[in-house]
Structure 1
Amino acid sequence: MALSTSRPTGSVGEIFRAIRSAGTMSRAEIAEQTGLAPSTVSLRVDVLVGLGLLRETGVNASRGGRRSRRLELDGSAGYVASVDVGAKHIAAGLTDAAGRTLRQEERMGSFDGGPEELVAWLWAFIEEMIAASGLDPDRLMGVGVGITAPVEHPSGRVVHPAFMPSLSDAVIPKLFHRYTAVPVLAENDANLLALAELATTPYESDQLLAVKLGTRIGCGVVSDGRLHRGIRGAAGEVGHSSAEGIAMISCSCGIETCLESVASGGALVAQLSELGYDVESSADVVAQGQTGDPVVVDILRTAGGQIGETLSRIVNFFNPRAVVLGGGMAASEHLVAAIRAQLFQRCLPVVANDLEVRPSRSPEDAPLRGASFLILDEVLSPARIDALARGDEEAQAADPSADRTESH
């Protein structure tokens, strides 16, 4: 996720944020950026090193004096878990404090239970991954959860999901806190796709529509480098816009032929099944399209045209820098080509001239990556790091012989 580019105030937490944003810095660079005295910078960096959050690595080229060492995040400080709950799959991952992926797993199928049963299952999944990775359960720093539904921010309450209606009004973080005391954040999966793109290319993705094309259709909106959620987390619900065509699946949104019921992966599975094709998932639809079957190709192109027509209205209104396509259906070249054609045909020249339409940088795991960025930004926020540093200083004052690394 894009971090603030404002000038750090010089607190321990702000210094940590500056290093995290840059990837690596020297003490001299921190002093230059913050205006703090070198001695003050060294004291605050020492706190972060003592907490196990930073480590020194490599050296800068000499400018005639002593060569300064580089500072970077220490991934061993802890790790976060991320979960992506889709209509037809559930994926989970573990990411260290430096943002490096440690493990990812995916399990196919849909979950039919209530919110309590779902969260219990997800927590068991996370625990299994932690054990299989040989990680210390006590080093878990937080959990990020992606849901294919509007999610109220910051409460994490699921708002009127079009699938899994049993999750309506479920407060996901509260349910997780039956099992863990670490921070838990829940977010719409298309928003997580947007966050993953923003974290990867912050300057190219400051005005962005991230469209999730899977069993369902969703969209994450980034404006001026910030995720736009709307009042109740429903911004970007393009899948429930009215569309031309025949509804192939039911949807609880109340619109008789919403885009999701007409052109989503779930709708195409239903349409091809009626025609006698052996398809059960979006991946099967994509695979059928890759064979060149003219019937399947025509269906994919029609769906892409319907999606592109809907998106063109939003693109004309919002004038984004990029439209990023993610999710399983984004692997269909026929669908994507039709979306692209509609956008450039229907958008104003002044809008289309600078518009980039491209696949996600990492379509397979973008929601998981977005969830990990979301929760890492929370658990490593300047306010939390400042509080951690204060606790460490208080512990040292009470017991000067205490090992500072044990307080994290």
Structure 2
Amino acid sequence: MTEETLNGASIGAGALLSVLREGPARTRTELVELTGLARTTVSQRLDALLRHRWVVAADTSTSSGGRPAAAFAFNRAARLVLAADLGVTHHRVAITDLGTTVLAERTADVPIDREPESTLAWLAQTFAELLAESGYDLANVCGAGIGLPGPVEYSTGRPVSPPLMPGWDRFPVPEWLGERLGVPVLVDNDVNIMALGEHWVGYPEADQLIFVKIGTGIGCGIISDGRLHRGAQGAAGDIGHIRVVDADEVVCHCGNTGCVEAVAGSAALAARITASGVLAKDGRDVVRLLDLGDPEVVHLVRQAGRETGDVLASIVNFFNPGAIVIGGDIAEAGEHFLAGVREVIYKRSLPLATRHLRIQASKLGDHAGIIGAAVMVIEHVLAPQAVDTTVVV
């Protein structure tokens, strides 16, 4: 290790900030020992981070018998993040700090199939209202993260042929919203940001994780080696149109037959329950009926779990995740859906692939999306290279 590198990476102000983000408060002496930098270099870069409020003096201090040495910690309150998880019919909007603590939030039932300008204008207004109610303004904000219920080309932040979002194809969401907010805007599909949120808060130890959202559609987010895997064009994880065995008679909105989304998605499940003689309009109704203990609903929910497990078994054999996390409306159905998923995965997957596999419900519930949207921004803004461009040493 040389004075200017740590594990082969240059130690600028951004890398020094990463050390403080990932661990406890540190003294200047400890930072010198950790980085291998000269004490004067550490002091210069630490002072620059203090000026920009990225770090603060910590309450804790250490002493070897003389005057206690000051310790420094990452300042989670240095900036705010705007986060939004936009669903097909239900939206959640929030403000968080740099540690993903939610400071203010609001939910609304607003259909996504309105024109994008109308939805995004509502979103910008909601952000402004939450900031005002919390005593902040846009000057405190470092970025905005948005999740959309459809395919997104992550490099541009533009939706690409989203089946449930008419009028949104290739719409410049980051540019349109960024002009009105005056901050960087990052956009991804809703399942990817949920996977980020679950990994960041719920399962930080699971470096190989699959997050599956069971809603109107079915999709999955893939965490590989601790990082979100988006694929070449950002389309990784679109499992909703994988064919389920013995479901050829079910026609999907995509034009194919047997898609798992058309068989086991919340809308499909509600329709099957209604056909059995019990009215269910959506996933929320499914969960409500399940709580009432209706035996036919229990049977159909477990069967939907088996059909989802049929698709996931192949993914387990291919990817060998350490954890599968189930989220979305149907995740609230509890063990009935999960039991069906587990039954088929353990039956059809290799024993080695399932030896230590955990299959569990989401820990964050309907907050996974806004937490993940905030994480997306935080990781972008606080990347060492990004910090180095804004912090003058």
Counterpart for residue 375 of structure 1: 377
Distance in 2 (alpha carbons) for counterparts of 1:290 and 1:249: 29
Larger mean Cα displacement after TM superposition, 272-281 or 226-235: 272-281
5 Å-filtered alignment, 1:5-404, equals 9-22=10-23, 24-200=25-201, 204-243=205-244, 244-245=246-247, 250-252=252-254, 254-333=255-334, 334-390=336-392
Q: Report if the CA contact (8 A) 1:59-1:67 is conserved.
A: no
The DSSP-based 3-state class of the residue aligned with 1:365 is helix
**SS at the partner of 2:180?**
coil
Provide TM-score, normalisation by structure 2: 0.92
TM-score (norm 1): 0.89
Amino acid of the structure 1 residue aligned with 2:354? A
Amino acid at match of 1:296: V
What CA RMSD, in Å, does the superposition of the two structures yield over aligned residues?
2.1
- Give the secondary structure class of the aligned counterpart of 1:59: strand
Shift of 1:93: 0.9
Hey, what's the Cα distance between the residues in 1 that align with 2:369 and 2:185? 16
Distance 1:260 1:336, change over 3 A: same
Could you tell me how far 1:261 is from its partner in structure 2? 1.1
The answer to whether the 8 A contact 1:246-1:257 is kept is yes
Q: Does structure 1 retain, via aligned residues, the 8 Å contact 2:251–2:258? A: no
Instruction: Report the CA distance shift for 1:25/1:148 in structure 2 as closer, same or farther (over 3 A).
Output: farther
Are the structure 2 counterparts of residues 195 and 50 from structure 1 closer, same or farther at C-alpha, using a change threshold of 3 Å? same
SS of the aligned residue for 1:75 comes to coil
The alpha carbon displacement at 1:195 in A equals 1.1
* Identity rate, percent: 35
Work out the CA distance in 1 between the residues paired with 2:361 and 2:26: 32
> How many angstroms does 1:352 deviate by?
0.8
Query: Deviation at 1:41?
Result: 1.1
Secondary structure in 1 aligned to 2:155?
coil
Structure 2 stretches lacking a partner, 5+ long: 1-5
How far residue 156 of structure 1 moved from its aligned partner, in angstroms, is 0.7
In the aligned structure 2, how far is the partner of 1:202 from the partner of 1:355? Answer: 13
Structure 1 stretch 214-223 or stretch 104-113: which is displaced more? 104-113
Q: Relative to structure 1, is the Cα distance of residues 7 and 368 closer, same or farther in structure 2, using a 3 angstrom cutoff? A: farther
Unaligned ranges ≥5, structure 1: 394-408
1:292–1:165: structure 2 CA closer, same or farther, 3 Å change rule?
A: same
Q: For this pair of structures, how many residues does the alignment match?
A: 386
Deviation at 1:201, TM superposition (A): 5.9
Residue by residue over 1:304-357, the C-alpha shift from the partner in whole angstroms, topping out at 9 and shown as x without a partner, is 000011100111111111111112211112111111221112111111112111
- Deviations along 1:165-209, whole A, 9 cap, x unmatched? 322222321221231221100011111122112223675221111
The aligned residue for residue 3 of structure 2 is none
Deviation at 1:128, TM superposition (A): 1.7
Contact 1:9 1:34 in 2 (8 A): no
